[in-house]
Structure formats: C-alpha cells, structure tokens
Amino acid sequence: MTKKLLLLIITILHLEGYSQITFEKGYIIDNSDQKIECLIKNIDWIFNPVNLEYKISEDSEPIYADIKLIKEFEIFNNSKFVRKTVKIDLSNENISNLSINKYPEFVEKTLFLRVLIEGVSNLYQYESNGLSRFFYTKNNSEQIEQLIYKNYYVANNANNTVATNNQFKQQLWMDLKCEAIELKTVEKLEYNKKSLLKFFEKYYECTNPGSLNVEEKKEKKDLFNLTIRPRINNSSFSVQNLLVPSSTVDFNNELDFGFGVEAEFIFPFNKNKWAFAIEPTYQSFSSEESLYSDYIGGTKLIVNVDYSSIEVPLSLRHYFFFNKSSKLFINASYVLDFSFNSSISFKSPDNFTYDNLKLKSNGNFALGIGYKFEDKYSMEMRYQFDRDMLPLSANYVWDAKYNAISVIFGYTLF
C-alpha cells in the first residue's frame, strides 16, 4: 500500500510540469524595443525572476528568454518587471553575519525590478532569498537609486550592538517634497512595500493627482482555512520481546474513528499552490490477542493494548489546480503524538499480570493525497509510517510499533 501511494504521488509530481502551466495575457519588449503581445507563464514570483517563458499564441511552443533578451515584460492585471542596471547593496541581513560598516557596499547588477508605482517618480522592488531592496526615480529622471536601509554592528567594550542606517527616509524627504507630507510622516516610515507604497501614493495625491499608475491590486487571496476533519483509521499494532524474538504479537487491523481540526496557512506566492497545515486530532486503538510466549516458558498470555492520543500532524501541502473549483493536493507530514492513559498489559488467563507497560510514543512521518472541491469539501487518504510506541529504555525489553491508513473527510468552515 505504501509503495502504491508513493508511486501515485511521484506520478502526480511528474505531471505538474504539464497540468500546472498557466500562460496569461501580457507583453514583452525585446532589445530592439519591439513590443510583442503574447502569453507569459505566470508563476506568481515571490523572488524577482531572471528569465521567463512566453508563447506568441495558445497553440505555439513556449519560448524561453533570459534577462539578456528582454527589456521589459508585463502580465496584465498582475505584475510588471523592467530590466535595469543598478547599484545594489547586497550586505547580509542575517543577524549573525552583519557587517560592521554603516554604509552600503554597492555592486553593479542587471536585474528585473518589479514595478510598484509609475509616474513622475517611480518605485521598484527587488526580492531574492532573504534580500529585500527598494529603488526609486525622481522628477522623470532615468537614474534609478536604491533606497538605503542597512543593519550593522557597532562594536563596544562589552559586545556588538545592532544599529540601523535609515538613509532612505532622508532620500525621500529631500527628493519627494510635498506640502502635505510632514517630517514626522517620513520619520515613521518602515522599509517595506506597504509603508513605501502608502508614502508614494500620498506624494502623488499632493503633487500629481490622477497621474499615478500603481501595480495592479490582486484579488484578495484566501490565505487561511479552518476545516473540521473526521476520519476512519485502519490501524495496526505489533509487539515484540527484544530478548525472545519469537514472542511477537501482531494485532489484527482495527477500524476506529478519529476527529481533527485543521488550520491551514496558504503561502502568498506561486499561485497559492503551497500551504502549511497543523491539525490536532484525537485517535484511539484498542485490541486483544493471545500469545504463547517462550518468554515465560510457553505459558499463554492475554495481551491487551489500550492506546489513545492527540496527534498533531505538521504538514507541507502542495495543490494541483484542475479548475477554479477543483484541485488535488499532496501532503508530507511530521506527526507529533501525545499519548495519555495508554498501556500494554500481559496477563495470564486467570488475570495474573506479568507486565504492564506504559506507552510513550515518538513522532513519525506520514504521506497523504487528497481532493478538494469548491474550497469547501475534501477527502484525503493518508499513510502513517511506523511509530515507535516504547522508546528504548533499560526498563523495557519490549518493542512496539503502530501505523495507520486513514480516510479523512473535510468540511471547511472558512
């Protein structure tokens, strides 16, 4: 069953390159300044791209072009990028690797900059692997400058303290003056997209009303879902004596029920295909088997398992969209497990107890595949790999494993 599930997931991932390609209307401008209306592959970039794919028509083959060939491109009602050669400060922003230099350390780079605002003065953004930089122009100038913001270490006798170069506030105050913008407004600015957009919009309202061209506002994405998730579990449990391997009990598969509540957080990039989910779930397993054990001279033992826990799967999820109302998804999960009032007992037929072991489970991994309809109804099949139920201890000579295949039904509340 596990191999079949893995094979199915691998097959779906292989098909991703075919089923998930979305080409949307836009244009490119090439090095000869020719503007070509086309269809551009929209992967909802979280980082600024260095290349793109486009098609001249629906039926034509995709054309691959890197930054050397394209001066500008836009996906209508979505995003626009322009190729610019700029001086950019690439100083490390990781707190453990900050520079002791207060001033930006510029290097010259040719980049695709995301256009946030266009007009008399423009605002651009560059994002790449933890690096966030903003650029601007002023008064119809072609010269693009970076808005300077940098954290750095200041050495003192005791230890290094972190200081910040907020020169971007001075740049905006000096270069984008307006009677409606007070110094205290600039002083409160933060070095992020939301804060800088708000400032530029205020500047245009004051200086050039009606002339502002802002990056198209995307339709608000539903980035959080809360779903109730009842399930049917087909669970198995095995117990083995480590000193006497022949003393092994395999419990028959048991059907039982569980109930969970899932909080799903969808990442706001790559067309909402990726999500993280946390799902506290109650489950239980109870069974009884007989064992003729060499452990105690071949005497018959009645082995009882009584296991209840709260599982907390932490899942990375990927969606595959068929259309607006229908999508497939796969999960890879690490399952935390908190057992309570759980034990394995070994008794003789006359109820004499030989062993009574308290279960204390470890976490385990799980894979799942599911389907969601209308962002409301869902069904998932999930396989859990072996979970160690008796972590090695000097007091235990028994080993116990638990695994389960679950069919999970979901109803999304919001």
Residue 173 belongs to a domain: yes
Choose one of 175, 203, 219: the last residue of a domain: 219
Q: Are residues 265 and 283 in the same domain?
A: yes
Instruction: Quote the number of domains for the chain.
Output: 2
Q: Are residues 205 and 288 in the same domain?
A: no
Range(s) of the domain holding residue 320: 224-412
- For 84-142, write each residue's pLDDT tens digit: 999 999 988 887 788 888 999 999 999 999 999 988 899 999 998 888 999 999 888 88
Count of other CB atoms within 10 angstroms of residue 85: 10
CB 29 within 8 A of CB 35: yes
Q: Are residues 125 and 201 in the same domain?
A: yes
Per the confidence metrics, is the pTM higher than 0.75? Answer: no
Across 195-347, the runs of DSSP E, i.e. the strands, are 213-214, 224-241, 248-266, 274-278, 281-293, 299-323, 326-339, 343-347
CB 248 within 8 A of CB 240: yes
Residue 56 belongs to a domain: no
Q: Are residues 260 and 408 in the same domain?
A: yes
Q: Are residues 188 and 203 in the same domain?
A: yes
| CATH number for the domain that contains residue 397 | 2.40.160.20
Q: Rounded to a whole number, what is the largest CA-CA distance in the chain?
A: 96
Q: Are residues 258 and 354 in the same domain?
A: yes
- Pair type for strands 160-165 and 51-55: unpaired
Quote the DSSP letter at residue 219.
Answer: P
Count of other CB atoms within 10 angstroms of residue 364: 21
Residue 368 belongs to a domain: yes
What does the mean pLDDT of the chain come to? 86
Q: Are residues 270 and 395 in the same domain?
A: yes
Choose one of 187, 219, 251: the last residue of a domain: 219
Residue 299 belongs to a domain: yes
Predicted pLDDT at 386? 92
pLDDT at 157 over 60: no
Q: Are residues 264 and 197 in the same domain?
A: no
Predicted pLDDT at 296? 61
Q: Are residues 401 and 319 in the same domain?
A: yes
CB 59 within 8 A of CB 78: no
Residue range 22-45: mean pLDDT, rounded? 92
Q: Are residues 213 and 233 in the same domain?
A: no
Residue 313 belongs to a domain: yes
- For 178-214, write each residue's pLDDT tens digit: 888 899 999 999 999 999 999 998 898 887 776 566 6
Predicted pLDDT at 17? 47
Q: Are residues 269 and 198 in the same domain?
A: no
Q: Are residues 241 and 324 in the same domain?
A: yes
Helix (H) or strand (E) holding 297: none
Choose one of 219, 245, 261: the last residue of a domain: 219
